[in-house]
Amino acid sequence: MSAAPFDFDEEIDRTRVPALKWRPLAGSGPEAELFPAGVADMDFRAAPCIRAAMRRRLDHGVFGYEAVPEGLFPALIDWHAKRHGWHIEPSHILRAPNVLDSLAIAASLFTAPGDGIILQPPVFFDFFDVIAENRREVLLNPLRLEGGRYEMDFEGLARLAARPRAKMLFLCNPHNPVGRVWSRAELARLDEICRRHGVLVVADEIHADIALPGHRFTPFAALGEAAAANAISCISPAKAFNIASCCSAFTIVADRARRRAFQAENSRLTVNKNNAFASVAMEAAWREGGPWLDAAIAYVAGNLALMRARLAEIPGVDLIEPEGTFLAWLDFRALGLAPGALAAFLRERAGWLVSRGEAFGSGGAGFARVNIACTRARLRRALDRLAAAMGGSGARRRPSSS
C-alpha cells in the first residue's frame, strides 16, 4: 500500500502560535489532556500546494501594494463551476476582507435601522452580533428538530417574510452549527418565499466545500437567475482549506445596482486592498487544492464515524448527524443540566472546550458544538474522557426526537 499523501494524524503544537482555538491551553503544550473544540478551524496543516505558493511569494521578498493576481478570479470561477456547477460572471465578483464584513455591509446597505433580518436558529452566533451592531432587528424563524434532523419551518418563514419589517434573511449554507447541507428543493422553497415578499437573501456559504460523503452542496445563487438577482453570496476558502488567518473573501452580487452600491461602500471603507499572501493562498487552494480537500473531508468523515460509534455507547448524549462542516452538534438535553451548566460540566469532567449551545440562539440550550477537525488520536482520547465523565454522571437516555 502506498503512503497516504497527506498526514492528518500529525499532532501539531498550535499553542506555539496565537491560535484562538488553543488559547485556553497556552503554556500547557500539545499533550495536555484537553480537547479544544470551540473555534471553527482545523488542526491540520494547510495543503502542501498552498504552503509552497506562499513560500514562493515569501522568497520574492517584495511586499508592496498589489493588484488582484491575474489567475485568482479564473481559479475561483473554475473551482465553483467544476465543484458546484455554479457559473459565476467575473464582473459579479467583489473582494471582501472576510465573510462577516460582507454580511455587515449587506445589512447596512440594503436595510434601514429598525428593519428586520430573518435568522433560523440555532445559527452561527456572530449573525446576531452583526445585526445588533448595525441596529437592525433579529426576526426568528427557528429550525425544527424532527426525528434527529433539523428542517426549515417554511410556514413560519412565509409568515415572518410577509411582515413589512422583514427585509433580509441570512442563510447559512451549509448550516453552522447543525450541519445541514440544504437541498436544492429546500433552497428553492426559501427562494420563492423570499422573492414573493421582497426579502433579500444574504447567503453565507463559507462552509460550502465541506459537504460530507453522500451530500451535495447547492450554491443558493446557482438556483437560477431570479434567485441570483435576489442574493448576495458570501464565499471564502477559509474553512475548507484552513487558511482563515491568511485569506480573504468574496461577495458575489449579480444585481447591477446592488453591486454598484457594494462597490461604492467597499471604496468608502477602503476595504479594497490586496494581501499578497491571501491572494496566492486562495489561488493555490482553488487551482491545486482539490485532492487535499477530498482527503481532509475523508479524514473528518472518519472522525465522525468514530464519534458516532462511541456516542452510541454513551448514555445522555445524541449526535445530530451532520451533512457538512467539521462541526458536530451534540444533544446533551437528557442530562437535564441547568441552563448554562453544560459547558462547565464538559470542561471540568471531560476536558472538553466546546461552543455553548445557548450562544447559537433559541433551541441551543442543552447542546454543544464540537469541532472534530482534529487528529483522530486526540478525538479518541476526548471520547474516552467523555465516556468516563458521562458514565459517572448517572444520566439516563431519553428519546432524541423532541
CB of 3 to ligand PLP, least distance (A): 32
Helix (H) / strand (E) element for 293: namely helix 290-311
Using rule CB under 6 A, residue 124 touches ligand PLP: yes
- Identify residues 304-363 at the interface with ligand PLP (CB under 6 A): none
* Least separation in angstroms between CB 373 and ligand PLP: 12
Q: Does 105 bind ligand PLP (CB under 6 A)?
A: no
State in angstroms the smallest separation of the CB of 176 from ligand PLP. Answer: 4
Tell whether residue 40 is a contact of ligand PLP (CB under 6 A): yes
Q: Does 98 bind ligand PLP (CB under 6 A)?
A: yes
149-151 vs 144-146, strand pairing mode: antiparallel
Q: Does 100 engage in binding with ligand PLP (CB under 6 A)?
A: yes
Distance from CA of residue 77 to its chain's centroid?
A: 21
Residue 206 in contact with ligand PLP, rule: CB under 6 A: yes
Distances (CA, A) of 372 to 1, 75, 79, 108: 27, 29, 25, 34
Query: Are the C-beta atoms of 221 and 233 separated by less than 8 Å?
Result: yes
CB closer to ligand PLP out of 98 and 274? 98
Q: In this complex, which beta carbon is closest to ligand PLP, that of residue 190 or of residue 206?
A: 206
Q: Is 223 or 238 the residue whose CB approaches ligand PLP more closely? A: 238
The answer to whether residue 249 forms part of the interface with ligand PLP (CB under 6 A) is yes
Size, binding site for ligand PLP by CB under 6 A: 13
Q: Give whichever of 172 and 354 is closer to ligand PLP, judged by the CB atom.
A: 172
Cell matching residue 382:
476526548
Examine residue 157 and tell whether it contacts ligand PLP (CB under 6 A). Answer: no
Check binding of 99 to ligand PLP (CB under 6 A): yes
Residue 15 interacting with ligand PLP (CB under 6 A): no
* Peptide bond preceding 177 in cis form (omega within 30 of 0): yes
- Cα distance between the two ends of the chain: 46
Cα angle 149, 151, 153 (rounded to 5 degrees) comes to 150
Angle at 90 between CA 89 and CA 94, to 5 degrees: 110
CB 196, min distance to ligand PLP, A: 26
Nearest one of 221, 249, 269, 228 to 94, comparing CA atoms: 249
Q: How far is the CB of 99 from ligand PLP (least distance, A)?
A: 3
Residue with cell 458514565: 391
76 phi, psi to nearest 5 deg: -60, -45
**Can you tell me which residue has the cell 460572471?**
89
Among the listed ranges 14-22, 93-101, 137-145, 339-347, the one in contact with ligand PLP (CB under 6 A) is: 93-101
Segments of 55-123 assigned E as strands: 93-96, 116-119
| Rounded (5°) CA angle 282-286-292 | 105
Instruction: Kindly state the cell numbers that stand for 365.
Output: 440550550
Binding segment for ligand PLP among 18-26, 92-100, 215-223, 264-272 (CB under 6 A)? 92-100
Among 172, 223, 281, 386, binds ligand PLP (CB under 6 A): 172
Q: What is the C-alpha separation between 317 and 81, in angstroms, rounded?
A: 40
Which of 91, 95, 75 has its CA nearest to residue 83?
A: 75
Measured from the CB atom, the residue of 316 and 361 that comes closer to ligand PLP is 361
Least distance in angstroms from the C-beta of 374 to ligand PLP:
16
In the bound state with ligand PLP, the residue whose beta carbon lies nearer, of 303 and 325, is: 325
Cβ count near 103 (within 10 Å): 26
Q: Does 244 bind ligand PLP (CB under 6 A)?
A: yes
Smaller CB separation from ligand PLP, 130 or 199:
130
Span from 17-25, 48-56, 142-150, 236-244 in contact with ligand PLP (CB under 6 A): 236-244
Burial group, residue 174, by CB count within 10 angstroms (0-12, 13-18, 19+): buried
Farthest-apart Cα atoms in the chain, separation: 63
Site stretch for ligand PLP (CB under 6 A), options 43-51, 98-106, 131-139, 141-149: 98-106
Can you give the binding site for ligand PLP, defined by CB under 6 A? Answer: 40, 98-100, 124, 172, 176, 204, 206, 236, 238, 244, 249
